[in-house]
Every structure is written in structure tokens, then in C-alpha cells.
């Protein structure tokens, strides 16, 4: 497992609150773990609460 995948899975587990399985080869899962949680959610500057509120606001705005 590469560093980005490990970092993404760790952040995903923190956000969801339970252990997520590492589903290798699923394009959606790969993108979600590596890019969303491994790159975006691990950026410094905003708290976990602020990131959750921004996500909720974006989903609400889209409908």
C-alpha cells in the first residue's frame, strides 16, 4: 500500500468513525480514498468540523 492510500484510508476512517476496507481496483473507491481523503481532507488550514460543514453546505446547495 502506498503512502497516499494509507493516508487516505486513515483520514476516511477518522471521518466515518469506523474501519473502511481497502477495496483495491474499484475506480470510485480509488478516487475517493486517494484524491478526496488522501489529498483534500488531509490539507491543513481548516478543522475537521469546518470541512464537514463545507461538505454539507455543498451537498445541500446542489440538491
Q: DSSP letters along 16-44, please? A: HSSPPP--TT-HHHHHIIIIIIIIITT-S
Q: What is the pLDDT of residues 10-56, one digit of tens each?
A: 999 999 998 888 888 899 999 999 999 999 999 999 999 999 999 99
Q: What is the pLDDT of residues 41-51, one digit of tens each?
A: 999 999 999 99
Q: How far apart are CA 56 and CA 50, in angstroms?
A: 10
Amino acid at each position: 500500500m502506498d503512502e497516499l492510500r494509507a493516508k487516505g484510508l486513515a483520514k476516511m476512517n477518522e471521518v466515518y468513525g469506523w474501519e473502511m476496507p481497502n477495496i483495491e481496483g474499484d475506480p470510485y473507491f480509488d478516487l475517493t480514498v486517494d484524491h478526496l481523503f488522501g489529498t483534500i481532507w488531509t490539507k491543513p488550514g481548516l478543522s475537521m468540523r469546518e470541512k464537514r460543514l463545507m461538505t454539507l453546505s455543498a451537498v445541500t446547495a446542489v440538491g
